Amino acid sequence: MHIKSAEFIVSNSDVAKCPKSRLPEYAFIGRSNVGKSSLINMLTNRKSLAKTSGKPGKTQLINHFLINKNWHLVDLPGYGYARVSKSSKKVFQKFITQYFSFREQLVTAFVLVDIRHNPQTIDLEFMQWLGENGIPFSIIFTKADKLKPKAIENHVQDYKNILLETWEDMPNYFITSSSKNIGQDEVLGYIDELNNNMNTEEN
């Protein structure tokens, strides 16, 4: 997929105010400071479409971007460890669950995980919640340029070992690096494939 256009549409904390169009949506979410904004900028070939910050918890709203005039990329707030007040965290954690519960346009979620760390409970719990609620998702391992190939393989295997204790199959996953443009074609190709499948079903 070639990204010809990428434009910011709206930010809000109310799922009811999300765009009314029926365009397919792909939601990106992960723990605070996982590299989500950098990944979105890398995927869209835009330097600052999503705002990057060294301060965890920068994204605290549902951000919609219109890509190629035919699908929405949705940037969701990070979960856990963000340096925001408890009352603020409760609010955006609630609208994260509301987004996934009520947004019918959602095709799939991408859960971002920092490849450098051992499996984190909060990531595993969030994936479990998605699974229990019947929400399709893929895992995107970020910051792959920080590890050697064997270490990447070992970390992915660690996730497989844990997830397969409760899941029948390992969820779909991608290895990415925003600084090295690793995984861009694979993630965009997957989105393109899903869009094409939907168009075929509608015709």
Domains of the chain in start order, with CATH, are 6-143+168-198 (3.40.50.300)
Distance CA 114, CA 144 (A): 8
CA separation for the pair 43, 38 (Å, rounded): 9
Q: Which two tokens stand for residue 197?
A: 């499948």
Q: Residue 96 burial by CB count (10 A; 0-12/13-18/19+): exposed, middle or buried?
A: buried
Q: What is the pLDDT of residues 157-189, one digit of tens each?
A: 999 999 999 999 999 999 999 999 999 999 999
* pLDDT score for 85: 55
Convert the pLDDT of each residue in 46-82 to its tens digit. 988 887 545 545 457 899 999 999 999 999 987 764 4
* Tokens matching residue 67: 């890509």
178 HSE (CA, 13 A, CB side): 23
Cα 10 to chain centroid, rounded: 17
Per-residue pLDDT, 161? 96
The two tokens of residue 3 are: 């990204």
Instruction: Quote the pTM value.
Output: 0.90
Quote the mean pLDDT of the chain: 88
Alpha helices in the chain (DSSP H): 36-44, 86-102, 121-132, 149-163, 184-202
CA nearest neighbour of 191 among 95, 107, 123: 107
- Residues with Cβ within 8 Å of 201's Cβ and at least 6 positions away in sequence, in order, are none
